[in-house]
């Protein structure tokens, strides 16, 4: 991917400033001097560039450099991608999204961190850290460059999917990520309109958070799955809210908390008029009632179908088949 000259210059300057702040040159000189001293004692040849890179990676210097330098990318609009279109259909390919560079900082306003389309509304979801992951209470803090088990957070909303960078497993994992979610209705012709508070209230799709653990052998395990109803932010006068999300375990531990994430929600641009919390609660109650009614009607239909199936012939009554599972 090629960058405009001004973006490339900005990237180089940010990386340069970041390296100066870490005194990376001094650390490299110390490591080279130390390694050369060890090699002279054992009669080894002089270091090559590849040898220096391996030493830096083994000592965790490269990981330290990349730890605070994040690369975030503006999401594609759902209208920018046309699926199943032949190359010769005469349509121009969608423009490449602009790539932005910066250090994660929840205090920086959204419009200063990334380019956003002013004609659309976004939900900026930030994960500000984790705590109370008691399974890893006694786990020692990993040394730089040491291979360890990691957490990775996956996020799904509408047709948008994101994931965080992996962080070491700990009682208080350093899960700090920001996700920019585009808000739009699925109706025909509504994709290009900026949704207002009433439109967003009718969007009942939750934000699905999935936390995955990867151990040192590369095996992955589902830690928790959580459906976040983000519409609580519609009642905030400032268009921002911050709260704790309790993640429950899975399987036999589905009623045991796995940990807690601190989550911040912010609408951009802010709403000119927020909704009353009672309105949001009423909408959520109506949605639960509709869902319960659909499940009840399906259960009635399924039981009727099963009775008719058993009446077709006597042999069906002796089949070891269950229509429902729990």
Instruction: Give me the percent of the chain exceeding a pLDDT of 90.
Output: 41
Segment 48-57, tens digit of pLDDT: 777 777 777 7
Task: Report the alpha-carbon distance of residue 302 to residue 322 in Å, rounded.
Answer: 12
Confidence tier at 90 by pLDDT (50, 70, 90): very low
pLDDT at 290 over 80: yes
Confidence tier at 38 by pLDDT (50, 70, 90): low
pLDDT at 97 over 70: no
Segment 140-163, tens digit of pLDDT: 777 777 788 999 999 999 889 999
* Cβ atoms of 42 and 69 closer than 8 Å: no
Identify the top-confidence range among 33-42, 98-107, 128-137: 128-137
pLDDT at 180: 94
233 alpha-carbon distance from chain centroid: 18
Structure tokens at 228: 């976040």
Average pLDDT over every residue of 88-99? 41
Give the length of the chain.
Answer: 326
Long-range contact set of residues 18-21: C-beta below 8 Å, sequence gap at least 24:
18/65, 18/68, 18/69, 18/103, 19/65
* Cβ atoms of 185 and 194 closer than 8 Å: no
């Amino acid at each position: 991917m090629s960058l405009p000259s001004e973006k490339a210059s900005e990237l180089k300057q940010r990386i340069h400033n970041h390296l100066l702040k870490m005194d990376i040159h001094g650390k490299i000189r110390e490591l080279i001097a130390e390694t050369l001293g060890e090699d002279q004692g054992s009669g080894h040849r002089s270091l090559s560039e590849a040898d220096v890179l391996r030493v830096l990676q083994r000592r965790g210097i490269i990981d330290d450099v990349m730890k605070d330098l994040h690369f975030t990318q503006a999401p594609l609009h759902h209208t920018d991608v046309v699926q199943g279109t032949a190359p010769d259909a005469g349509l121009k390919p969608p423009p490449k999204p602009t790539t932005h560079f910066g250090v994660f900082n929840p205090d920086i306003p959204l419009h200063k961190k990334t380019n956003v389309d002013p004609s659309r509304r976004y939900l900026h979801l930030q994960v500000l850290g984790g705590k109370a992951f008691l399974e890893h209470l006694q786990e020692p803090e990993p040394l730089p460059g040491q291979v360890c088990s990691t957490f990775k957070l996956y996020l799904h909303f509408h047709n948008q999917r994101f994931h965080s960078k992996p962080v070491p497993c700990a009682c208080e994992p350093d899960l700090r990520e920001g996700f920019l979610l585009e808000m739009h209705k699925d109706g025909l012709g509504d994709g290009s309109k900026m949704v207002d508070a009433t439109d967003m209230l009718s969007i009942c799709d939750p934000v699905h958070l999935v936390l995955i653990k990867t151990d040192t052998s590369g095996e992955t395990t589902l830690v928790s799955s959580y459906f976040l109803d983000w519409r609580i932010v519609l009642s905030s006068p400032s268009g921002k809210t911050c709260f704790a999300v309790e993640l429950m375990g899975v399987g036999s531990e589905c009623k045991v908390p796995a940990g807690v994430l601190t989550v911040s929600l912010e609408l951009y641009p802010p709403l000119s008029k927020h909704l009353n919390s009672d309105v949001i609660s009423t909408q959520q109650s109506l949605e639960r009632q509709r869902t319960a009614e659909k499940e009840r009607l399906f259960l009635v239909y399924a039981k009727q179908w099963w009775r008719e199936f058993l009446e077709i012939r006597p042999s069906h009554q002796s089949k070891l088949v269950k229509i429902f599972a729990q």
